[in-house]
Amino acid sequence: MKRVVWILLIVSVIGASTWGCDSVSSGVEMDRYSIVVDAGHGGVDSGTIGVVTSNKESDLNLLIANALGEYLRQAGVKVTYTRQTKEGLYGELSSGFKMRDMQARRDIITSANPDIVVSIHLNKFAIPSRRGVQVYYQTGRDRGETLASSIQDIFNTHVNLPQSGRGYEAQRGDFYMCRCVSVPACIVECGFLSNPDDDRLLDTAEYRDKIAYYIYAGIMNYLMKR
């Protein structure tokens, strides 16, 4: 039986009352889709570190990725994770481990043959006041740009504006995780661990769940545009 999930546009879906929502709706057959959720870093590669909490980016990425995957799974999407533990994917810790880790992620994505790849990271910046969520895509990949903008728009409406006074554009660049696959891919930098307020917020399960939910809503908006 086809499973149709009714989406509330802008900030969509199930449980939307938690975060507030608008009430325009459209149907998307979610069980048609397969999505890879990639939690960045892991193992000895902890990524950036919280300026106040000393939280590791790798641990927070995993928690947000799992929360996002759960929203997608509940909607009927086939979800593949690149990692579900704190370990990296590089095997033995020896020279070239970072590239082995990236290639292992690429191999997981290739065999999952997904419609979309979303990679979860956290940011840092030399100016501590910089905060909020920024989404990145591979230069020249139009569908990746559309996906990134769909997610960025949700954050600009619901998270970035109250915090930073302005939204961000989806940012282009050169990223292995986006260029190693042909399907639309983006990297969501879910906040700045160099900003004390973002760092403290990301220390709470409630805020991480909110971030996961908005990424989910952005993915839904993208799927409705296809």
Q: Which residues bind Zn ion (CB under 5 A)?
A: 40, 47, 121
Q: Write down the least CB distance from residue 47 to Zn ion, Å.
A: 4
Whose CB is nearest to Zn ion?
121
Q: How far is the CB of 176 from Zn ion (least distance, A)?
A: 12
Cβ proximity to Zn ion: between 40 and 88 the closer is 40
Torsion angle of the four alpha carbons 162, 47, 147, 159, in this order, in degrees rounded to the nearest 10:
-10
Nearest approach, Cβ of residue 44 and Zn ion (Å): 14
CB of 187 to Zn ion, least distance (A): 8
Please identify, using beta-carbon distances, which residue of 7 and 117 lies nearer to Zn ion: 117
Q: Give 47 or 144: the residue with its C-beta nearer to Zn ion.
A: 47
CB 116 within 8 Å of CB 147: yes
Residue nearer to Zn ion on the CB measure, 176 or 207: 176
**CB-CB contact of 89 with 101 (8 Å):** yes
Burial (CB count within 10 angstroms: exposed 0-12, middle 13-18, buried 19+), residue 205: exposed
Backbone angles phi, psi at 41, to 5 degrees: 65, -165
